[in-house]
Structure formats: C-alpha cells, structure tokens
C-alpha cells in the first residue's frame, strides 16, 4: 500500500480531542527555529549577490555562493537525514546549527579578504544547515497524528513570517554597519544559528525507538522498502516534481530580483524591501494553508498556487517600476506557499516511519538540484538577458508544475480520502 496507514502516524502526547499542551509547545518552538533559521536563508538571498559585486566584477557569477549553498544541500541532505534517522532529530538539527555557524564564519572571512572562492566554500558549508532547516516541516508532521499533518506543516512553515521581518530588517541594519559592506550581515547570520542551536535544546522530539513502536506492530516489523520502490510511486513522483518546480521557480526569481532592482537604478534599500514583501508572501499564508488543504483538497490548493505564480510573472512583465517588483515577488511568494506546502503534505504519505530518512532526503535532493540550477541561472540570465526574459523562462517551469499537478489529479483514485 502506497499511503501510510493512519495508525502508523507518530502520536506523541495526543489526546482524543486534539493536540495537548506539550505538542503545541513543541510545534511553537519548532516554528521559532523555522523563523530564525529561515531568516538566515533570507539574508543570504538578499545580501550575497550585492556583497559579491562590491569586489568581484562578474555580475553573472554574483549568486554563485548561493548556488553553492544549494549544491551543499544536495551533498549533505542524505548524511543529515540518515544521522537523524539513527540519532534522532534533536542531535541532527543541532549539528546543522553548528554547520551554520561555521559557514557564516567562512563567508565573513571570504568577504573581508575579498576572496570569492572562500565565499563559495562558505555557501557550501551552509548547505548542511539549510538541509536541516528544510526538514523542520517533516519533523512537524512526525509530532502529530495523520489528520493534523497538513496543519502542522503549515504552522511550522508560518514561522517564516517572522523571518520576513527579521531577515530583511537585519540586512538593512547591518549592510553598512562594518566595512566591507555586508560583513556585519554575515556575522549576524552566525549569531542566528547560535539561537537556533539553543532553542532546539528545549524541543521534545519522539525518540527513534518510540517512533518505530508508534507505527504499530505490522509497520514496525515490516522491513524498509528499497528507495526505488518508494520513489516509483506515482504520488511521490508527482509531489516531488511539484515541490521541485515550486522551489526552483521561487529561487529563480528571488535570486535575480535584487540584481534586477539595483540594475534598474533603485537603491539597495528597495531590493531589501522587495525581499521583505516576497518572504511575507511566502509564509503569511501558512496560517491558513493547512485549513484550505483540508477543505478544498491538496491538488486544488496546489493549482491555485500555480495560478498565483503566473499572475506574479504577469506583474513582472508589465513594467519595471517599484510596484511591479513588489507585486510580482509578493504574489510569487503566496503561490510558492500553496504549491510547496501541498506537495510536502503529499510526500509525507508516501513512506513508512522506518523509511523516512532516505525518502525525505531523496525528496529534498531533487528539490535542491532544481533550486541550485535556478539560483545559478538567475544571475547568468539576469546579466545576459535581463529581468523580463528571465520571467518568460519561469513560465515554462510553471507549465511543467501544472502538468505534475494535473497528473496528481489523475491519480485521485490512489489518494487516501483525506487528500
């Protein structure tokens, strides 16, 4: 059976009427980690391209450290996931924070010494921290029963709302606080990873042994299936494709937008403001995305996400004034939220608890292979083609996402009634 049996959901501290105080506390703290950790990611997008061009005069390669961060995710995602499978989420996430501190320190040294390759190395190290950050949504799903999964994923993702304030605000405050420009920004990223490390110490994740026991006798006794069996499920294929294209398109436009805004003659502060609005669009809907999925169905919400991302492209293509950038990136963020949260909710129904490490790692490897390519191509295409041709290219990505969601709808018979 492709989908998980509801009895296999991990149910720590759940009463029949809903989630108890401890479960709510764990989700709240995990959302706080999401807020602080996502702030680091937002600061990387907002600051990296602009900091690199202060000393490295190749605008087409300005986003390469961000691309290296995504490549780092691809490299580290399996080791990180398997460490959590063996040692538990708490240890695994705190190791991620240590990598985040080290990566931010290397980025700072690279900028201070005007060493482009050292900044790229820092991005590669930060990839481990981002790989762990992306697994917060899976950890949220493991803290609640099956019927709460969409809401739990949505609630934890909503921690990004605070990131929309913290990240761009810190960039605005720190970008000229020390010389060279943005040096204090990378120092602030290091401090934020220290905060995440501390908060993680107070979250009670299900022990590894308890997770298997909670799956029930049949699931606990069943050996893990080969990865190709899990990945060959139509639901996994379509969900992973939708997640890849959602994150890839978002990264494509988000990475290029600061360079495009400054290239149109606007100040750096306008680029920071647009990123702020974009991140708000990405995470504010998370307060109700889970309810929308429960009410209208996963594929309907994902389809709405594709439509919204196409509306954002239309706004970008209609002009290059401040409000064109602001509307385009904000609507793009909302569309990403609908599409990505829906895809994540479906992926969590494709594996058993003893298969979670490799299944989640494969999903994120696929997602970040697309994101790495998108972030690199964003700087290159922005320099060679310009902002509007880049948006036309993103239309092709959204059409591919629409095909994946259409295939999901065609697979309706294989979905559980809850989806």
- For 15-33, write each residue's pLDDT tens digit: 434 567 788 888 989 999 9
Average pLDDT over residues 104-132: 94
Banded pLDDT at 418 (limits 50, 70, 90): very low
Q: What is the pLDDT of residue 142?
A: 84
pLDDT in tens, 236-249: 888 888 888 888 88
Banded pLDDT at 175 (limits 50, 70, 90): confident
CATH class of the domain at 18-414: mainly alpha
pLDDT at 278 over 80: yes
pLDDT at 183 over 60: yes
Q: What is the pLDDT of residue 215?
A: 45
Q: How many residues does the chain have?
A: 419
- Mean pLDDT taken over the chain: 82
- Can you list the pairs that 156-159 forms with residues at least 24 positions away whose Cβ atoms lie under 8 Å? 156/27, 156/30, 156/31, 156/34, 157/34, 157/283, 157/286, 157/289, 157/337, 157/341, 158/31, 158/34, 158/283, 158/284, 158/286, 158/287, 159/30, 159/31, 159/32, 159/33, 159/34, 159/35, 159/38, 159/283
Give residue limits of the domains in the chain: 18-414
What percent of the chain has a predicted confidence (pLDDT) above 90?
26
Banded pLDDT at 208 (limits 50, 70, 90): low
pLDDT in tens, 291-344: 888 888 888 999 999 999 999 999 988 888 888 899 999 999 999 999 988 888
b/e map of 207-227 (b: 16 or more CB within 10 Å)? ebeebbebbeeebbeeebbee
- Nearest-Å Rg of the Cα atoms of the chain is 20
pLDDT at 260 over 80: yes
Q: What is the pLDDT of residue 335?
A: 94
Q: What is the pLDDT of residue 17?
A: 41
């Amino acid at each position: 059976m492709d989908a998980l049996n509801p009895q296999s959901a991990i149910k720590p501290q759940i009463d029949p009427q809903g989630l108890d105080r401890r479960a709510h506390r764990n989700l709240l703290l995990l959302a706080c980690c999401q807020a602080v950790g996502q702030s680091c990611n937002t600061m990387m997008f907002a600051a990296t391209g602009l900091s690199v061009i202060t000393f490295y005069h190749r605008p087409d390669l300005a986003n390469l450290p961000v691309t290296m961060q995504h490549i780092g995710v691809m490299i580290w995602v399996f080791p990180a996931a398997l460490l959590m499978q063996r040692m538990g989420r708490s240890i695994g996430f705190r190791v991620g924070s240590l990598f985040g501190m080290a990566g931010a320190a290397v980025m700072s040294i690279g900028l201070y010494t005007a060493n482009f390759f050292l900044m790229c190395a820092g991005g590669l190290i930060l990839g481990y921290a981002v790989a762990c950050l992306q697994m917060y949504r899976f950890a949220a799903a493991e803290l609640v029963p099956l019927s709460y999964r969409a809401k739990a994923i949505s609630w934890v993702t909503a921690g990004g709302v605070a990131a929309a304030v913290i990240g761009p605000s810190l960039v605005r405050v720190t970008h000229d606080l020390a010389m060279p420009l943005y040096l204090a920004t990378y120092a602030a990223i290091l401090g934020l990873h220290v905060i995440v490390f501390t908060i993680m110490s107070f979250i009670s994740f299900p022990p590894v042994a308890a997770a298997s026991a909670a799956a029930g006798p049949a699931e606990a006794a069943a050996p893990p299936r080969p990865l190709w069996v899990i990945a060959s499920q139509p639901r996994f294929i379509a969900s992973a494709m939708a997640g890849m294209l959602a994150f890839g398109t978002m990264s494509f436009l988000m990475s290029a937008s600061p360079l495009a805004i400054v290239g149109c003659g606007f100040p750096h502060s306008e680029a920071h403001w647009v990123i702020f609005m974009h991140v708000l669009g990405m995470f504010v809907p998370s307060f109700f995305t889970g309810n929308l999925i429960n009410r209208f169905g996963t594929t309907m919400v994902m389809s709405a996400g594709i439509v919204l991302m196409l509306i954002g492209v239309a706004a970008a293509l209609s002009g290059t004034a401040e409000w064109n950038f602001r509307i385009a990136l904000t609507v793009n963020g909302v569309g990403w939220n609908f599409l990505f949260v829906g895809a994540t909710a479906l992926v969590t129904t494709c594996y058993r608890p003893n298969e979670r490490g490799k299944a989640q790692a494969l999903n994120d490897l696929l997602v970040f292979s697309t994101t790495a390519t998108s972030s690199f191509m964003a700087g290159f295409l922005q320099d060679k083609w310009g902002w509007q041709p880049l948006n036309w290219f993103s239309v092709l990505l959204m059409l591919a996402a629409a095909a994946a969601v259409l295939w999901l709808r065609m697979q309706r018979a294989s979905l559980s009634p809850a989806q």
